[in-house]
Structure 1
Amino acid sequence: MYSEIKIAQIKEITMINDWVESYADDLYRWVLKRTNDVQLSEDLVQETFLAAHQSFDKFEGKSSPKTWLTAILKYKLMDHFRKQDKKKEKVTSDFFFDDKEHWKKDNNPNFWGETEEHLLDNADFQKVLAECLTNLSDRSRIAITAKFLDEKKAEDICHDLEITTSNYWQLIHRAKLSLRNCLQLKWFKN
């Protein structure tokens, strides 16, 4: 009996180690794309494997290990956002628009004169964009990257972030305004 338990434990540890070798890099890239924070991403991946080890007996093999691990990681990421205190001050529409919903003079968008394709190929622009993304709240950054980079549907993003549709559209709207303002200040006003 004792040796059977020992063998089962060794098999479990071996399998978890194999999963770390096989999936850690993919999980890390997935979460880094959403957090833009190296240390946080490393911690969340580590917590994912720890949780997988602790609940290994619940893995029934109905999905692939990578799918199961990704689901755990998604929950870890959402838990992080729930626990995190509100971050940077949120940008409101009042900052950009007057009472009649016209652009305020100082915040009126300028013509950028660049094509999207050209900008996204520019490494310097990508650095500025990444910097501007880090200025967003975590939820706003997740929502906007999921929508525009991952091309996820609004319904799926709402489910992942556990928010309502109206909250989602508000996040997207504010994130776009904030990104536009940041890019205008750091890239286009040279």
Structure 2
Amino acid sequence: MDGLGFSVTTRDNPTGRNPIYVKNVMNKGAAVEDGRLKAGDRIMEVNGIELTGKTQQEAVNMLRSIPIGGTVNLVVSRQDEPVLPRELPEDYAVSDVEDPRHGLTPRKTREYVTLEIPLNDTGSAGLGVSVKGNKSKVDGADLGIFIKSIINGGAASKDGQLKVNDQLLYVNGESLVALPNNVAMEQLRKSMSTDGNMRGSIQLVVARKI
């Protein structure tokens, strides 16, 4: 579907009759030029024909039948975007004197960034990052989950938006804020292995030192 400029995927078995989702919006093609379609959108109809009960191959065939230069009308369902937190709990912030690598830096020296990172074709590989749970040097309290390293060739490396030492706040709409590190790690794993594969991408909200 090079002309349309996006790929599709299903929740489970590609040969089964499962919901059809937009996996990736390519850098070239009608979809990126139009600007409305997003990775993770569920395609409900193509030119008035419902996709309920269709296999992935049937959906692909329908989309490929659109002539070059033609118009396609899509009806999609989109999950709500995760809400960027206006304020983090006060006890989650770190004092100015503590090493900023071990927690959120003072509020005036960080920014919140929302990222949509397409997964590789082998979505099970996930983001291609290693993470670490930081603790306070003062009292040993958990201070959140941070990006430790980005693996060359992985989804995050190819996308280029995520950075080492970014703090993960939300993953596909699920908050990691103020959770114990072990609970946050488990939530991160679940979000990336299930919802991420379904959407074909992973959405993150991170705190980043300015």
Same topology, TM > 0.5: no
Q: Which band: TM-score by shorter chain? A: under 0.3
TM-score w.r.t. length of structure 2:
0.25
- Structure with max Cα Rg: 1
Greater strand fraction, Structure 1 or Structure 2: 2
TM-score by length of 1: 0.27
Greater helix content: 1
